[in-house]
């Protein structure tokens, strides 16, 4: 019998059908690689040079309103644009290209320039959840849109160009790779078992307990069995719903509460504004409401401290992903830190 705490082994991600190599014995090795200091952020509540702050000018002469809650607008430098020709180009059977159209939007979480998701109140995050829901419903109803991706890049090392609390929505005519893989796996599982894949997975995790981070009446945050990133987590709805639009009033509040808990624990882990890329996976416009189970993924790069970052290099780029810290050990560390933000104690 292999010892999952000591022996190298691989774990399957049932949402994608892909494997990850886990090497727990490598946590004992000394680290002499790159170290990137994550500074404690000190910002003013309003920055006159920030293009996301209320009342300030953006690119193209657009000016933000004096918003007091959330604020959504079309991205001034969108990666996707409406009306792109849908033509197909194939100079060779192996070389193909399709036109992709879409819309890109920015959602400001708060008028406060100096806060992060973790530092907002549950009530303020609830306002963000409501805005996400409205945007998802509007964009998903557009006949030219195939999938709506809501995501947040937090911190400079994750490519975030502006520290003002915000996220992006990219709504595309094409179905993205990760969504296509998850849709196929969930549909196959549902057809075979009559239950969603994540409903059965979450039932097991709630009974096992060792990979759970935070739980409330409506959502659970956990380190998935197949996690790649050091403190990767997944947020899963306890009721099998396909998207934000199916959440009840109370479930929206539960989502706000679990996001507050999770992001606070992230910050408290190393007492920094913890960097991550995170976002929701929900039913594509033409997807099955029965098979798809609403969830979110969070991928943070910090490895052993606020100075050591994980990169996907070498074997991981050429073979398959590998991690040293087991999901169980990562979940334990996140559970052990407080869900009261460290800045509130200063």
Which residues are catalytically annotated? 166
Report in angstroms the alpha-carbon separations of 339 from 216, 259, 264: 13, 11, 6
Residue 195 neighbours by CB under 8 Å, 6+ apart: 189, 240
Residues 154, 274 contacting (CB under 8 angstroms): yes
Indicate the helix (H) or strand (E) that contains 237. Answer: strand 233-237
Q: Token digits for 98?
A: 């399709």
Is 32 exposed, middle or buried, given 0-12, 13-18 or 19+ CB atoms closer than 10 A?
A: exposed
Torsion of CA 109, 261, 34, 321, to 10 degrees: -100
> Which residues, including other chains, have CB under 8 Å from residue 319's CB and lie 6 or more apart?
21
CA distance 10 to 170: 33
Q: Are strands 88-92 and 147-154 parallel, antiparallel or unpaired?
A: unpaired
Residues 6+ apart with CB under 8 A from 102: 80, 81, 82, 84, 144, 145, 170, 171, 172, 173
Contacts of 146 (CB under 8 A, 6+ apart): 172, 173, 174, 175, 284, 285, 286
Instruction: Determine the 3-state secondary structure of 180 from DSSP.
Output: helix
Identify the CA nearest to 129 among candidates 260, 13, 293.
260
């Amino acid at each position: 019998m292999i010892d999952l705490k000591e022996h190298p082994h691989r774990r399957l991600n049932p949402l994608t059908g892909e494997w990850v190599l886990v090497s727990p014995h490598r946590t004992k090795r000394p680290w002499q690689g790159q170290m990137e200091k994550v500074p404690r952020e000190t910002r003013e509540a309003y920055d006159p040079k920030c293009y996301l702050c209320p009342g300030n000018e953006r690119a193209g002469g657009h000016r933000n309103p004096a918003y007091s809650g959330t604020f959504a607008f079309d991205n001034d430098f969108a990666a996707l644009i409406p009306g792109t020709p849908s033509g197909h180009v194939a100079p060779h059977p192996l070389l193909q290209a399709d036109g992709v159209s879409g819309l890109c939007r920015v959602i400001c979480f708060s008028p406060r320039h100096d806060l992060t998701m973790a530092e907002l109140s549950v009530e303020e995050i609830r306002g963000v959840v409501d805005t996400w829901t409205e945007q998802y419903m509007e964009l998903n109803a557009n006949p030219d849109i195939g999938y709506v991706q809501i995501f947040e890049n937090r911190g400079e090392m994750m490519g975030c160009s502006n520290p003002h609390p915000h996220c992006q929505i990219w709504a595309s005519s094409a179905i993205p790779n990760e969504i296509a893989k998850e849709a196929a796996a969930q549909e196959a599982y549902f057809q075979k078992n009559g239950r969603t894949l994540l409903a059965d997975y979450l039932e097991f995790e709630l009974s096992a307990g060792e990979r759970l981070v935070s739980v409330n009446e409506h959502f659970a945050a956990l380190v998935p069995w197949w996690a790649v990133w050091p403190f990767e987590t997944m947020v899963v709805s306890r009721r099998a719903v396909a998207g934000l639009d199916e959440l009840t009033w109370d479930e929206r509040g539960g989502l706000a509460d679990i996001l507050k808990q999770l992001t606070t624990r992230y910050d408290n882990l190393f007492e920094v504004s913890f960097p991550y890329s995170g976002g929701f996976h929900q039913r594509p416009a033409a997807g099955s409401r029965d098979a798809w189970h609403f969830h979110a993924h969070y991928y943070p790069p910090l490895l052993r401290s606020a100075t050591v970052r994980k990169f996907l290099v070498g074997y991981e780029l050429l073979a398959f992903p590998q991690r040293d810290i087991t999901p169980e050990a990562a979940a334990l560390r996140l559970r052990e830190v407080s869900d009261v933000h460290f800045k509130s104690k200063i």
